[in-house]
Amino acid sequence: MLFSVDEKMHVIYRALFEGSQRRHFVGTVTAVDGAACRLSGYAYLSDPQTRMFERKPDLRETVVDTAHPGYITNIIHPDTDIESVQYRYVREVGLVCTDGKVFELNINEYGAKS
C-alpha cells in the first residue's frame, strides 16, 4: 500500500471545466483499500470573488481514489493540526495552505506568483 492509516493528506479535486467550483480536502486517512483512501477532515471551497478557500464548518468523511486522474493528492506533515488549516495569500509566494505551525503548501492554482 502507498498510504497508511493516520497519514494526513491534502487533496485537490481537479476542475472539470472552466468556471467550476474549486474544492480541496484536508484530512487524516482512516482506512485504505488499494488506492482508495477514506479520510476524515474538512472540505474547502473556493470563493470566486476573493479566490480564497473557505473551510466548511462540519467534519466530514470522504473517499478518494488516488489512482483517479480527478485528484491531486499530497501527503502532508504528520504533525499538521488539521483543525488549524487555513488558506492565505502570501506576497511573493502566492496562495498557501498552512496550519501556521509545521505545514505549509504553496497552491499555484491561480497562476504565477505576484
pLDDT single digits (tens) 18-36 = 777 889 999 999 999 999 9
- CA neighbours within 13 Å on the CB side: how many for 74? 16
Helices and strands: H and E segment counts in the chain:
0, 9
Cα–Cα distance, 27 to 60 (Å, whole number): 9
| pLDDT at res. 18 | 78
Grouped pLDDT means (10 residues each) for the chain, 114 residues: 92 83 95 97 91 94 95 95 94 90 83 42
pTM of the predicted model as reported, rounded to 2 decimal places: 0.90
Cα–Cα distance, 55 to 63 (Å, whole number): 18
The closest alpha carbon to 75, from 39, 44, 101, 108, belongs to 39
From residue 75, alpha-carbon distances to 58, 62, 112 in Å are 22, 16, 23
| pLDDT at res. 17 | 78
* 55 beta partners: 44
Give the phi and the psi of residue 59 in degrees, each rounded to 5.
-65, 135
DSSP state of 83: G
| pLDDT at res. 114 | 39
Report yes or no: 9 and 35 within 8 Å, Cβ to Cβ.
Answer: no
